[in-house]
């Protein structure tokens, strides 16, 4: 019979395993974002440099040879274009107003992009929660593809993900930095932010579970229908 110590050890192992799975999921997602960002930057650089080279060739053929100064100017333009497009962000993060306009099926991905753009402005202790919310938004995205925009469930998702989450982070951002660690009514703004993000993280997980439960119920119903239909025919 397992002792209390054995149960505690088992519980600790389960928590550690879940933590590892979550870290692996977050690391994979971050790697995918970085790779996509690099691809977009390289693509912009290649396009800009290609246009400069084509323009230089056309000028040399149609107007006059470039000469030493022309070739030097082209080289400078190539260097400048490469540096500029390597530094500029590959994509502009969505605004809060944009979150209210996007279709429901695109809301999780768009919110995740907005959340990622706010990450550095948030205190370090809550960034793990931000990653966790991002993972859950990725899971939620395909579940919303078949959800009716006018359904009550869709309204709850849009309110939580597109309104309450951004408003929580915007509200924290309006607090002056020196006051964020000053306790008020028993909690600091940092702690209030952490609590709010934890609630949202839990609510997104619950919504995803409820949507999945609907799919599981439908699958079970279809399974029973097929069983009755075809097994009944075989018996007949």
Q: Coil, strand or helix: which one is 184?
A: strand
Between residues 39 and 198, which one has the greater pLDDT? 198
pLDDT classification of 32: cutoffs 50, 70, 90 = low
Alpha-carbon distance of 207 to 233, in angstroms, equals 39
Helices (H), the chain: 4-62, 67-87, 96-99, 107-118, 127-144, 152-157, 165-173, 189-226, 232-235
Q: Which residues of 125-153 are buried (b: 16+ CB within 10 A; e: fewer)?
A: ebebbbbbbbbbbeebbebbeeeeeeeee
- DSSP-derived letter for residue 126 is G
The residues that bridge with 73 in the sheet, in sequence order, are none
Q: Which of 10-24, 48-62, 111-125 has the lowest mean pLDDT?
A: 10-24
Q: What is the mean pLDDT of the chain?
A: 79
The predicted structure's pLDDT at residue 23? 47
Name 165's Cβ contacts closer than 8 Å, sequence gap at least 6.
Answer: 111, 115, 133, 200
The predicted structure's pLDDT at residue 2? 54
Name 135's Cβ contacts closer than 8 Å, sequence gap at least 6.
Answer: 22, 25, 26, 29
Between residues 60 and 197, which one has the greater pLDDT? 197
| pLDDT value at 16 more than 50 | no
Alpha-carbon distance of 121 to 146, in angstroms, equals 34
Check: pTM over 0.75? Answer yes or no.
no
Q: Which of 6-10, 74-78, 119-123, 225-229 has the lowest mean pLDDT?
A: 6-10
Which among 179, 202, 201, 203 has a CA at the least distance from the CA of 191? 179
Alpha-carbon distance of 190 to 201, in angstroms, equals 16
pLDDT classification of 28: cutoffs 50, 70, 90 = low
Instruction: Give 140-183 pLDDT, tens digit per residue.
Output: 888 888 788 888 888 888 899 989 999 999 999 999 988 998 98
């Amino acid at each position: 019979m397992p002792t209390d110590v054995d149960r505690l050890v088992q519980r600790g192992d389960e928590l550690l395993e879940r933590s590892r799975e979550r870290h692996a999921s977050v690391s994979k997602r971050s790697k995918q974002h970085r790779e996509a960002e690099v691809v977009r930057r390289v693509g912009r650089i290649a396009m800009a440099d290609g246009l400069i080279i084509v323009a230089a060739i056309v000028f040399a053929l149609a107007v006059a040879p470039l000469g030493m100064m022309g070739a030097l100017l082209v080289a400078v333009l190539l260097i400048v274009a490469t540096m500029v497009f390597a530094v500029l962000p590959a994509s502009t993060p969505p605004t809060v107003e944009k979150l209210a306009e996007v279709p429901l099926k695109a809301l999780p991905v768009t919110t995740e992009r907005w959340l990622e753009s706010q990450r550095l402005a948030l205190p370090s202790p809550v960034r793990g929660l931000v990653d966790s919310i991002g993972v859950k938004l990725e899971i939620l995205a395909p579940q919303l593809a078949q959800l009716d925009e006018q359904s009550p469930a869709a309204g709850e998702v849009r309110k939580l993900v597109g309104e309450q989450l951004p408003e929580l982070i915007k509200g924290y951002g309006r607090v002056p930095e020196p006051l964020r660690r000053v306790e008020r009514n028993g909690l600091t703004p940092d702690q209030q932010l952490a609590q709010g993000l934890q609630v949202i993280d839990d609510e997104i997980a619950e919504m995803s579970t409820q949507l999945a439960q609907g799919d599981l119920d439908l699958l079970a119903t279809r399974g029973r229908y097929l069983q009755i239909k075809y097994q009944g025919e075989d018996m007949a």
